A and B are shown apart, each in its own frame.
Chain A
């Protein structure tokens, strides 16, 4: 049991009642102790996946195992291991943060005395203790998000899942949230977070899966992903293909057909030196274009989205 991965997602599919196919057969593995990012644009299926893991959404097929425990077949056992910070505010706004935390612990069968101690500990760590006895609707947007983190810690989960916890939260609050989550991770809790902020995933996570239109399009380490993204590929149409491709420093050349070459190089590499080198080997370039890949397109969309996102403001609901 202890050697089982923190999470195994096995060919999960979800089609909602209205016919929307939110997940089209997703598989991934998260190792114990990892800090894992699930990155994708709005509507990609991130919340659907997390809904299935936390049993709020019924999968159409496939299964997930949390530390070896099946969410489908041993729901209760699996839920004991998970702490969930959902995307939308979902506590009773008329209750007090202290009661919200203590009651949550109660649902997990944690005796009230232990629950009260934990509530004090986590509300303190998330700097909400002075608000513990105020009605939750009086909290600011950032405080409400932190309250949901404290609440998720009440059962001291082995797997903490956060669904876009920083959406609409200002930079400072965001930093303090990450400090807390980093400490939790360092203490051994596996963390999975979804985000559509690339920088957030970059600065926090060791491994990453990228999801788009209900499909995982990349699943790798943060390091390798960044290396990929740092590389640019150009498609060059050449007048005549040389018999042997020259070796150019910092550029990897590939022949794709009779008249085209692909040149892959770091974004920082300048193009003048590429053309100079090609001329020196008597290769004439007749036209050139940028080769786009799905990952890049996705990142463009993500980054655009990130820019349009307001820097402040909460997810306050009319309720």
Chain B
């Protein structure tokens, strides 16, 4: 058996196991984001949004926030999937099943990231379908839309993986989303255009990676963005690269995994 086919079987095994897990606990993985986002659409989009009127480029407030909310669910679900699944494997020690196998580290990482991205995509599609009950959308740049989703989900899968590697108890994977991820998302231009902010808040907002993901995705769907689209992709690719290197380094050193 060649190395490539061995690795492919191993990769497939992890991805498949992740997807089985998502489906096994679908009431925890798929339903909550659907409910949360429905509430956002009702409250912010319909009730409050109807009083705001057109926000930018002639879009209703509902249309404006849909891309942001979809990206927000993709981010939180990718992150949540990988951090709880990988930390769970550490906690139950079943991670040892992978660590004693010949599987190289990159296969472990890629497998978990692919599983988490899959969860993000499924949730994203679900939320988008719900959004269509409230407003009409037609995607302007399908390729950019897809790539921004893929990169956004990948970045937060990698970040969630790093979180799980360092985590020693369940609190450690619950606190980061609460104190880091959620604030960054709210400040990442999901609900407003950063152009509405004065300085220095506009400049500060531009160091938030989520801003670039939300705007790249909004550009894909609506054709408008607060940031240059090229810049957004450069930032996202930089994060993918940096976090991948970090995650592989942690795996190689066995941080939190091999004593």
Contacts and interface: CB of A to CB of B under 8 A. Distances in A.
Interface in A67-120: 75-77, 79-80, 82, 84, 86, 88-95, 99-100, 103-104, 106-112
A76 B106 CA distance: 13
Interface in B61-102: 88-89, 91-94, 96-102
Contact of B100 (A56, A77, A99, A319): A56
A275 interface: no
Interface residues of A, number: 38
A54 interface: yes
A33 B26 CA distance: 48
A57 interface: yes
A314 interface: no
B96 A56 contact: yes
B97 A104 contact: yes
Interface string B95-138: 01111111110000000000000000000000000000000000
Contact of A107 (B13, B88, B92, B259): B13
Contacts of A80: 102
B173 to A, nearest CB: 15
Contacts of B9: 106, 109-112
Contacts of B8: 109
Contact of A58 (B7, B14, B97, B254): B254
B18 to A, nearest CB: 11
A231 B7 CA distance: 55
A76 B104 contact: yes
Most buried by B among A54, A89, A90, A112: A90
A56 B99 contact: yes
B99 A55 contact: yes
B248 to A, nearest CB: 15
B13 to A, nearest CB: 3
16 contacts: A54-B100, A56-B99, A56-B258, A89-B93, A92-B94, A93-B92, A94-B24, A100-B97, A106-B9, A106-B10, A106-B12, A107-B13, A108-B10, A109-B8, A319-B91, A319-B92
